[in-house]
Chains A and B, each alone.
Chain A
Amino acid sequence: MATVTTGAATPEVLEEHWSETPGLGSFLTTVDHKRIGKRYLYTGLLFLVIGGVESLVMRIQLTHSNLHVVDPETYNQLFTMHGVTMMFLFATPVLSGFGNYLVPLMIGARDMAFPRLNAFGYWVFLGAGAFFYSSFVVHRLPDAGWFNYTPLSDSVYSPGPNVDFYALGLIFVGISTTAGSINFIVTILKMRAPGMSLNRMPIFVWGELAMALTVIFALPALTLANVLLELERRAGFHFFAAAGGGQPLLWQHLFWIFGHPEVYLVVLPALGIASAIIPTMCRRPMIGYTYIVLAEMAIALIGFGVWVHHMFAVGLPSMGLGFISLTSFLVVIPSGVQIFAWLATLWAGKPILKTPMLFVLGFIVLFVIGGLSGPMLAAIPLDQQVTDSYFVVAHFHYVLVGGAMFPIFAGIYFWAPKMTGRLLHEGWGKVSFWLMFVGFNALFFPMHILGLRGEPRRTYTYQAGLGWDFLNLVETIGAFVLALGILITFVNWVWSAKRGEPAGHDPWRGESLEWATTSPPAEYNFENIPTVRSREPMWDQPELGPHGQPAEAGGRGLGGGHNTLVTSLLEAEPEVVAPMPHESPWPLLLTVALLGIFLGLVVRSWVFWSVAAVAAVIATAGWFWPRGETQET
């Protein structure tokens, strides 16, 4: 550890320390948070396409009553993998991708706190995605729903490996999410630029922090549930099987203790995206910053006390249900606080209706609808009528697609110029938005009505004459319109990356530090780590520009080495200069060994998984082998 220094840095010296040799070697060993962040984004969006195609096939099957486009087994696999893919392989990773790319830039750091752990998190996510979909090769995709209730998922009713792919895959991907979350928490709390006290931290960063904290406390319940399930399926334990003295509801409790916070951990960083875009696009600071931050944290906290509202119809005593009903009503309040803070900012400011802002406004409309059907499901008797019907499907798609995917697309239009240096095409962006907005509502609004008309969810077909056909047809058309809108943005993005209008370093006149870098940013992000004196540094500190902050204005070059600055938790006062690790092959090698363990477990070959386990031990040893002071490979 070196002492805190303000020593000036030249781009040449930084380049020498930070640049990664181009080529396959650095592709496999990179620890640059920006490269890793983009990988999370691209891979996550690939899974959006896969999960989207799954939903389109389901929609075709449901266009009309009694169709036979897919058989029931395929349909069950499709809706199971649609849920697993969208939650674990699309939403969470894409929001981690934005976080990975943006958090160090927004807080004025040169990388995440643990760059190799960061690389490891991505590789494990990719490995877990490959693991889930390797089941497709053997036609054994998970088929017991993303909620995977026992006893349907036990070895009696699901004897095939389908559920093993589910349970082991979730344990596997959980390693990635946990590693990523620890990294976010340490980075956000200890790596902020000097002067960026917690009350000056961008709301987007608060959103990522809330997500990471939620993961740390929620995910163990899911991992535990899946470990117990695998023990029951393989080793004859009876945690869940009633015949052996187990309790089927134990699974439901463990799953939803994780599962409801999971909804919030997807929505919280997405709300953060909206809160990042609104002030810039309204040309004024956010009204109610403190309320929004408190609301984000309150949602994260109250979100742990609402899980039983997924179980209002299982026959629990009504006293207990009453408590959960109350918390489920109350968790609406912090969401409402954020919406009214945005409304106040929009009203006071001058909204600029560029594409990112359109997606944010569309998000608010959809999120409000999802938020208004929320209390209906918190009301016990009404929930007992419409739970497990299409009404619920409508509700959570408004919350999750409206509340997370629309902000993600806003984020793409807003920050892709930072990543590529070029703006996306504005006209096609608007076309994409309107197609997505109209398609989304045509797809999901009728589901409210069908749920009220008694259509249960997770059914591969339905009978004629029930008044369900017409709206199902509307939904299918809506699904394709939505898909077309999404496709247009992807094409726009690819096209603009090469031919788009040059963005410059700050195309939107943003207020936070990511705009004080070149587009795309240099490997080391900032020549000098800026000293922050405001909540909107780019607006209040005119010395900030594409090359950061000059030394005479407080910028710290840290002597130009492979270093970043560690600061104190509350006030962000400089503590030490931390040397950062270079590229490393070990995160990838460890991931390959872990993938071997999980594949060995699923094919039930102890030779296979024990060899892979030895490889994992070797890879871990290689990673941590002492190499002198800096721990570089």
Chain B
Amino acid sequence: MRCRRGPLAPGARTLPAVAVALTVGGCGGKTSVVSPKGPAARSVVGLWWPMLATATAVFVFVVGMLVLAAVRGRRKTEDDAAVTPGWGEPFIVVAGVVVSGAILVGFFLFSLQKVQALTDAGRRSKLTVSVVGHDWWWEVRYPNGAVSANEIHIPAGVRVRLALDTADVIHSFWVPPLGPKIDMIPGQHNTLWLQAGEPGVYRGQCAEFCGLQHANMIIRVVADAPADFDAWMAREAQPADDAATGGPGRPVFETQSCAGCHTVRGTAAAGTVGPDLTHFGRRDTLGAGVRPRTDGDLARWITDPQSIKPGAAMPPTTLSPADLRALVAFLEGLR
């Protein structure tokens, strides 16, 4: 596993939280809240480090006092203990109400300011992408008619508006390095601003328990350079071309059960239960991120998906070795 150190917020370096900060921010950056890769996540981290620093200071004070009290107590007599000090109740009021209250209200106001910055409903978006949660995968639709699944391409540096819905139960869209999550709730249309600062691949996964395969409902956000993105989206809207569909795999796909659930535009397959596979060969993973898209995994996914993702809607398919090879080649060719 590669382990790269995420950049720390400038303020964090000088604070007592630095040890914790290194532990938290140091590793697992590609899915980390504290290695922000977009303005929304960066804004939240700007709230996190001051809160962590304050919490650390309060912890040190309280536990320090606790330990000191226990140590001092050894030298005391019971008569000492019976004396009620005059500072007792004022201490409770000052520390417990005045100081705590001021810190808490301060952070409340600070966090409200961040909410303003994050929502900012007045701003217009250049691009709206529709994302629909399904048990247990993500359907992705673009304004030019392109339909994809489990990978969202966006132009880097551009604020993209996500329109989020669900086809069944409640799911939650969460890509930690890019910012806060929001649930996808039946009968309700939620939106989320998504922006990645730099081109790259950002991993997230469903954050609301949605049943058997909640653990394997993975989403990848691919931020492309804006020109690359425009080309990608244009290509994604096209039907599968003859080069891809000319081989022996196409009739296998159309005549076996595949076509009952999946669409490949440009062929007879027009099922709507599972993901649109028109440009499947351009995706990095299969089964909503459960496996990398390799020939071996793909063949196993076709013949025995339940061993990889128990409970998924995809049934096993029995094929002759030749048909299976042809089908894998066909799917890989959908580029």
Contact = CB atoms under 8 A, between A and B. Distances in A.
Interface in B30-89: 30-34, 41, 43-44, 47-48, 51-52, 55, 58-59, 62-63, 65-66, 68-70, 72-73, 76-78, 80-85, 87-89
A456 B207 contact: yes
Contact of A385 (B58, B179, B209): B179
Contact of A248 (B33, B65, B100, B185): B185
Interface stretch (A22-30, A38-46, A349-357, A601-609): A349-357
Contacts of A285: 84
A72 B290 CA distance: 14
Contacts of B81: 282-284, 348-350
Interface stretch (A463-471, A478-486, A550-558, A572-580): A463-471
Nearest to B189: A315
A449 interface: yes
Contact of A151 (B28, B87, B105, B169): B169
Nearest to A157: B169
Interface string B85-96: 101110111011
B157 interface: no
B18 to A, nearest CB: 15
What range describes how many residues of A lie at the interface?
35 or more
A401 to B, nearest CB: 18
Given A282-B81, A315-B190, A325-B111, A72 B311 contact: yes
B1 interface: yes
Given A76-B212, A287-B84, A456-B174, A381 B76 contact: no
B46 to A, nearest CB: 9
B63 A72 contact: no
Contacts of B213: 72
A572 B224 CA distance: 75
B34 A452 contact: yes
B243 to A, nearest CB: 33
A449 B93 CA distance: 33
B211 interface: yes
Nearest to A343: B65
A368 interface: yes
Size range of the interface on B?
35 or more
Interface in A283-314: 283-285, 287-288, 291, 313-314
Nearest to B63: A365
B150 to A, nearest CB: 14
Interface stretch (A87-95, A169-177, A219-227, A369-377): A369-377
Contact of B107 (A73, A329, A373, A453): A329
Interface stretch (A114-122, A333-341, A621-629): A333-341
Interface of chain A, main secondary structure: helix
Interface stretch (B114-122, B141-149, B232-240): B114-122
A349 B183 contact: no
B186 interface: yes
B92 A382 contact: no
Nearest to A346: B69
Contact of B100 (A145, A249, A332): A332
B14 interface: no
A541 interface: no
B17 to A, nearest CB: 12
Given A283-B81, A453-B31, A460 B66 contact: no
Contacts of B80: 350
A456 B205 contact: yes
Nearest to B91: A344
Find the residue from B47, B108, B182 having the highest chain A CB count within 10 A: B108
A58 interface: no
B82 A72 contact: no
A376 B207 CA distance: 18
B96 A249 contact: no
Given A315-B182, A322-B112, A332 B69 contact: no
A151 B170 contact: yes
B82 A333 contact: no
Nearest to B173: A313
Contacts of B88: 287-288, 344-345, 348
Contacts of A71: 310
Interface in B104-134: 104-105, 107-108, 110-112, 114-115, 118-119
Contacts of B252: none
B310 A72 contact: yes
Contacts of B289: 463
A454 B185 contact: no
Given A248-B186, A388-B181, A381 B100 contact: no
Contacts of A73: 212, 310-311
B274 interface: no
Interface in A241-293: 241-243, 247-249, 282-285, 287-288, 291
A454 B208 CA distance: 13
27 contacts: A72-B215, A76-B211, A76-B212, A152-B209, A287-B84, A287-B85, A287-B88, A333-B101, A336-B100, A337-B92, A337-B97, A341-B92, A346-B65, A348-B81, A373-B55, A382-B111, A384-B181, A385-B179, A388-B172, A388-B207, A389-B33, A455-B31, A456-B206, A459-B205, A461-B215, A463-B289, A464-B1
Q: Which 10 A/B pairs are nearest by Cβ-Cβ distance?
A: A467-B28, A242-B187, A384-B180, A454-B31, A459-B215, A379-B111, A337-B96, A242-B186, A372-B55, A315-B190
